[in-house]
Structure 1
Amino acid sequence: MALHVVACAHGTDDPAGRLLIDGLRAGLAAEAGRRGLDVLVHEAYVDVQQPALDGVVAALPPGEPAVVVPLLLSTGFHTQVDIRTAVDSRPGTTAAAAIGPDRRLAAVLAERLAAADLAEGDCVVLASAGTRVERGTAEVEQMAGWLSEEIGRPVALGFGAAAEPRIGAAVEAARSEPGCRRVLIASYLLAPGHFHSVLGRAGADAVTAPLLPSPSVAECVVDRLFEALNMTR
């Protein structure tokens, strides 16, 4: 019997973002199958799009195990409230952790910066959507540290909402650093959408592409699934 996996994303009105998240679900199913796990992947969202997470979980066949897998980069309100509420509403259902932090994502961010022609004298700001949840902010700080190791220079932090500093202030502060040639924003987002548009208006010289469609993201998601099942990867 296949395991029910509810792959829960935030949701976006951006058509390109929707396609990339759909691709991530397909990548999740393929990667799980490659590792010998038979899964039935269900689409769900916590905002903007349908079907809504609570309805998807409620419609799962009674008595069959299920895992809600966040297609979200960090711990936040949606993981701690929306997903937790849905999981608690149905016996035999558990939740996996958010996708990050993960060193593989730092490597993808470094690749995106290289594609944006990162050079000597360029200052880097890692930009996240933002959360008021302390653990989520700490996870993004961990990603900034790993990215700094990848590219061999300091990495500042900026947030699109909820946390400080906001991305515009972070870009301005980076530009004021002695010897700063350009400011590049490393987009710590999965796909195009509202928050990626915010980055484009923050005053940086360049903004990297989001993490998708890197296959590393699906690999991280499946690792979180295996961890939730207490299974060897």
Structure 2
Amino acid sequence: MICPTTPPMVAVAHGSRDPRAATTVTELLRAVRVRRPDVPVLPSFLDHAPPAPGRVLDGLARDGAEHAVVLPLLLTAAYHSNTDIPGVLARVRSRHPRLRLRTAGTLGPHPLLTAALERRLAEADVRPGSPDTAVVVVSAGSSDASANATVAALADRWRSRGWWDTAAAYASAAGPTPAEAVTALREAGAPRVVVASYFLAPGYFTDKVGDAALTAGADAVSAPLGAAPEVAELVVRRYDEALLTAREAAAV
């Protein structure tokens, strides 16, 4: 039986055919459990890897859970968070009307993700805010213009940290590409250009971005955010925010 006083967290990642992605999610959720050992934390994936979120929620309902927090491990709000996850939850609610589901916000945008980006750059020997270094923040890209605008806004805000300049780029669905952004900064006179990988886990896009950026003249490409402490802390905060929002709504 599931303890009714501690809602389980069902973390929903994008999913990938690349096994490194699921391994990274496992590492991240292990760090989350260390921070919140009272919370059952369960992984799920929208595509390409088991288990699917609907199956995890079905299992919780069968085990007697009364409520759960569904937490998207997504860095921007776009199609997956706005359409895919609500669709899954609607189907689960139709099967299990007594299971109360709360949906947490996507991880980004949040200052903790910027801190995690700086951690990964530091691991690639890039000093945060170095005035002789331009940074290209690269995300997967989306057909949702607002999601791409979120990444562009992150890059704009980060410029105030002291970098020579910052720019946003996208691995797919939008421009500029990472190679185009690196080339533009080189042509503008940037002494050094590095790429900050705004990805949760390694996979096809991170490999593609790294190869293209280095070929275009980037000096360094950071690793994905993965199980960085800042990301684990942000997952916990999103969980707590979802519970607080639910309590406030119940009190009205």
The 5 A counterparts of 1:8-19 are 8-19=12-23
**Aligned partners of 1:3, 1:111: CA distance in 2, in Å?**
31
CA RMSD of aligned residues (A): 2.1
The residue number in structure 2 matching 1:3 is 7
Offset of residue 57 of structure 1? 2.4
The 5 A counterparts of 1:44-123 are 44-61=44-61, 64-89=66-91, 90=93, 91=97, 92-118=100-126, 120-123=131-134
Match of 2:168 among 152, 157, 172: 157
Match of 1:124 among 116, 135, 141: 135
The residue number in structure 2 matching 1:209 is 223
Q: Which secondary structure state, in structure 1, belongs to the residue aligned with residue 138 of structure 2? A: strand
Q: Which secondary structure state, in structure 2, belongs to the residue aligned with residue 201 of structure 1? A: helix
Q: How many residues align?
A: 227
User: Does the 8 A contact of 2:75 with 2:108 survive in 1?
Assistant: yes
User: Structure 2, unaligned stretches of length 5 or more?
Assistant: 248-252
TM-score by length of 2: 0.81
Does the alignment pair 1:187 with 2:191? no
Corresponding letter in the other structure for 1:195: F
Higher alpha-carbon Rg? 2
The residue number in structure 1 matching 2:210 is 200
Offset of residue 63 of structure 1? 6.0
Corresponding letter in the other structure for 1:216: E
User: Does the 8 A contact of 2:105 with 2:242 survive in 1?
Assistant: yes
The structure with more helix, counted as a fraction of residues: 2
C-alpha spacing 1:123/1:139, structure 2 compared with 1 (3 Å): same
**Aligned partners of 2:164, 2:192: CA distance in 1, in Å?**
14
Between 214-223 and 127-136, report the one with greater CA deviation: 127-136
Between 152-161 and 163-172, report the one with greater CA deviation: 163-172
- % identity of equivalent residues: 38
Corresponding letter in the other structure for 1:78: H
Corresponding letter in the other structure for 2:231: V
Corresponding letter in the other structure for 1:174: L
The residue number in structure 1 matching 2:235 is 221
C-alpha spacing 1:188/1:167, structure 2 compared with 1 (3 Å): same
TM-score by length of 1: 0.88
